[in-house]
Chain A
Amino acid sequence: MTDILKIKDLTKHYVQKSAFFKKETGRANVLNGVDLTIIENEISGLIGESGCGKSTIAKLIMMLEESSSGTISFRGEDINSVSGRGKKNYYKNVQMIFQDPYSSLNPRMKVKNIIGEMIRINGGSKRDALLKTKEMLCETGLEESAMDKYPHEFSGGQRQRIAIARALVVRPKLLIADEPVSALDLALQYKIIDLLLTLKAKYKFSILYISHDLNSVAKFCDNVSVMYLGKIMEKASADKLLKEGKHPYLKALIESIPIKDPLHRTDKRSVIKGEIPGPHNIPVGCPFHPRCPERMAVCDQEIPVLKGIEGDHAVSCHLF
């Protein structure tokens, strides 16, 4: 049980500046001190409502943007300190698949180049690239004839398979999956998740699985972190989370999961009250307190910290 990726107290804010005097005119606090650990060979889930900063974490892990403070370390090495060659090596170990299969593949490139490029960049020969691309396509359930086609000739599910093949062809040790199935219909969603599980069993890598669907995350992940307005609210192993979820926010979320039988769907569910505040006006104290049904006096004063309550179960709430 070694960590592959450790995020400590990560914050990210976007500052808007005026054009001339570079005066600050607005600030979006997207991440406000995130702690997250991904364990070797496990699937870690990350869930939260839209706009809470999940994709931002993924971007920071992929070094697509710079963090404002805090550290991300991959196998003990701070990724801020890698550059040049180290960066290339990092991307060999950490890969990402994106939410929208329609925009994540370069429309002007043939599939064989989209995937083969990854091998070529890492010093593989042309032959090598072709062989591995073929192999990977079979592995992800695509025909060999896909090689010479362009992305627009495929369906959404097939494209997501290509994206997976592209990410895994370099045999990464960590795969960031940012809502990889939310653009697909239900039957396809399970197929793609199955594919990921099969490939994971074969190639042995960790996954950070980002989603806003509590149900699927609980089924599919080993452990789950719940996020709200740029902070982790609770984390636990997946089975524990659904049954013994502690945080008021999580409880509300669990209750709001649609029940299969539509006749019993009414009344009982306490839907979270109020609008989710934007990153421009994060509430003082606990970010959830304006909407919290169990609010106390301290809640709008002090920011709660993530405390372990038993084993790997941790909650960030003044109640515990």
Chain B
Amino acid sequence: MLAYITKRLILLIFVLYGVGTIVFFLIHMIPGDPVDIMLGDSAVAADKDELRKNLGLDKPVLTQYVSYLSGVVRGDLGTSIHSREKVLDEILERVPASFELMCGAMFIAILIAFPLGILSALKPYGFTDTVSMTVSFIGISMPNFWLGPILIIIFAIELDWLPANERGGFFNLILPAITLGTAMAAMLSRMIRSSLLEVLGEDFIKNARARGLSEKKVVLKHAMRNSMIPVITIIGLQVGVLLSGAIITEAIFDWPGLGSLLLDGINERNYPLVQGCILFIASIYVFVNLITDIMYAYADPRVRLQ
């Protein structure tokens, strides 16, 4: 187990290094002079020079690269252009909102997916199964930037039940969380269904049935426990979908999270902030994946041996 974790950690460092490199070179992909674009054409020459110096753009690329990476290692993601605040501070300020949204979405997804998946698996190819799998198919195909507006029309405008803008209390969270969580719920319910069906075909389940346990008990007590491993992995992998889906959801609902910060950064051409956000989100994703993998390996020893 320890060897496995060490191996994963080494890979993690490598991946983070790669991510840092890509993020660094983003600013060099800008066509033309990045300083001109960031400050606009009307900026004064002195300002431009100062910014160029601050960003280190006057030095050779290799020097910039080294100092950028060493800054990242020390937790210094640079300073934001207009506000002159530390990028990391600006990011950390937005984390709670994003976290809240993702937890909400995850909660909604689990709330929808488990009953649907279990009901489908209890009577595969039956009526409930057909309906719920059709619904989940639509859920997968429905882009969340369309679902969001529709939810707003129905629940916020026509029915006027729920608020639809900005962060606030519990009720403000419901619509954004549904918007973000639906796709995950759809994936998850399909996954739960198929992994339950697989487990239900195995011998120990047949034994449990032979012992005369009721079907409900068999599924809920015996099969569920054994089919959870792939489900956990999917939940882990779906965090990535949530992270990038959150950018759109936050844009729809004016939610003050990391996604909005990234979009603000892009609109203001505040590239250090954009770099910082992307690095931060990718790192979180990498860490979540690591934790999922380790949990998975812990639960299923075969994985460790490859």
Using a CB–CB distance below 8 Å, which chain A residues touch chain B?
A: 19-20
Contacts and interface: CB of A to CB of B under 8 A. Distances in A.
Interface of B: 7, 10
B243 to A, nearest CB: 28
A20 B7 CA distance: 8
Nearest to B10: A20
Nearest to A18: B7
Contacts of A19: 7
A19 B6 CA distance: 12
Contacts, number: 3
3 contacts: A19-B7, A20-B7, A20-B10
Nearest to A21: B10
* Top 3 closest pairs, chain A to chain B, by CB: A20-B10, A20-B7, A19-B7
A195 to B, nearest CB: 44
A20 B6 CA distance: 10
A84 B20 CA distance: 42
Contacts of B10: 20
B13 to A, nearest CB: 11
Contacts of A20: 7, 10
B4 to A, nearest CB: 11
Nearest to A19: B7
A156 to B, nearest CB: 33
A21 to B, nearest CB: 9
A19 to B, nearest CB: 7
Contacts of B7: 19-20
A161 B7 CA distance: 50
Nearest to A20: B10
A189 B112 CA distance: 61
A22 to B, nearest CB: 13
A20 B10 CA distance: 8
B303 to A, nearest CB: 14
A19 B11 CA distance: 10
A19 B10 CA distance: 11
A19 B7 CA distance: 8
A212 B7 CA distance: 43
A20 B14 CA distance: 11
A17 to B, nearest CB: 13
A75 B181 CA distance: 70
A40 B38 CA distance: 79
B9 to A, nearest CB: 11
A156 B10 CA distance: 50
A20 B5 CA distance: 13
A97 B242 CA distance: 54
A19 B3 CA distance: 11
A15 B7 CA distance: 20
A26 to B, nearest CB: 13
Nearest to B14: A20
A18 to B, nearest CB: 8
A20 B4 CA distance: 12
A175 to B, nearest CB: 38
Nearest to B306: A19
A16 to B, nearest CB: 11
A20 B3 CA distance: 11
B304 to A, nearest CB: 12
A231 B118 CA distance: 59
A20 B13 CA distance: 13
B215 to A, nearest CB: 42
A22 B111 CA distance: 46
A20 B8 CA distance: 10
A20 B9 CA distance: 11
Nearest to B3: A18
A41 B10 CA distance: 57
A134 to B, nearest CB: 49
A127 to B, nearest CB: 51
A235 to B, nearest CB: 41
B48 to A, nearest CB: 46
A52 B56 CA distance: 65
A20 to B, nearest CB: 6
